[in-house]
Amino acid sequence: MHRIDHPTADITDPAKPKFTEGNPALGTPATILTDDWLNDVQENLLKVIETAGISETKGDDGDLLDAINALIAAAASAGNYAGSEILVANRTVTNADRGMYFHVNANGIVVTLPNPTLVPAGTTFMIGCGSNTGCTVTSPLANGIYNINSNVVTTTLPLGLRSVYRFVVAGGQYHVDQVGGEFSLSANGYQRLPSGLIVQWGTTGTITGYGGSSGTITFPIAFPTTSIYVNFIGDGPATVGNNTNFALSTRNSSGFSFVNAYINNASFRWFAIGY
């Protein structure tokens, strides 16, 4: 589309020529409507209507409104992301990538966000990590990332496995929260919740020895801060029906140790909570 460019246009502002009714007393003619300008306006309006899949109807003053509403509804049903990209190499995100969803699909990838002071407030990026060893997001601004879940300010943020994080610019920082939890649904597995709380579970093999024999269990993943609860229950042989045969000795962020009181060739299932 273009502004009217006929010589009779009002060019008081040369960058924005406008129409004028003219002034006969001053010999200023009215602006002449040209075919190229009228056709340009017509085709630009019809482009919106045609894109929405609506047939133009002569005399119907609702075609354009119907088209705009249809396009808005279609965009809402398709989701709110500006686009998506699968990452298999390090990626430096730019201001032009606002609203993008990035899915990391290779080990050890580093995603560098733009300086949060140089992009509009409210700018959002979504980053999902599906790699086996995790991925890292970094800000060129020192302490430019504020982790809402952990209440920690940082420059570099490691992302958990099989998890999705939302980065929103606010107050010159990226405010980030985890919207999809990392997990492993195996016999010895875990679930990381968006709040930062982690639950873990597992089972032991057959434990031999009794009368004070001991052992150590390592969690599937270490709790970033601490474990706050560990419990277990006997799982065999048939004479083991509760956890009174085993006693918790020590626990930390990486695992716990136990004492087998008196049952030989026994096993147990355990459950732990931490953050």
Q: Can you give the pLDDT at residue 141?
A: 95
CB neighbours of residue 23 within 10 Å? 10
**Segments making up each domain of the chain, as ranges:** 34-78, 83-180, 184-274
| CATH of the domain spanning 184-274, picked from 2.60.40.3940, 3.30.230.10, 3.40.50.2300, 3.65.10.10 | 2.60.40.3940
Q: Can you give the pLDDT at residue 242?
A: 46
Q: Can you give the pLDDT at residue 217?
A: 93
* pTM for this prediction: 0.50
| CATH of the domain spanning 83-180, picked from 2.60.120, 2.40.360, 2.40.50, 1.10.287 | 2.60.120
CB neighbours of residue 251 within 10 Å? 20
Whole-number Å distance between alpha carbons of 82 and 64: 24
Q: Can you give the pLDDT at residue 243?
A: 47
Residues with pLDDT less than 50, the chain? 77-78, 240-243
Whole-number Å distance between alpha carbons of 107 and 122: 30
Q: Can you give the pLDDT at residue 205?
A: 78
Q: Can you give the pLDDT at residue 209?
A: 66
If phi > 0 it is left, if psi is from -120 to 50 it is alpha, else beta; for residue 171 that is: left
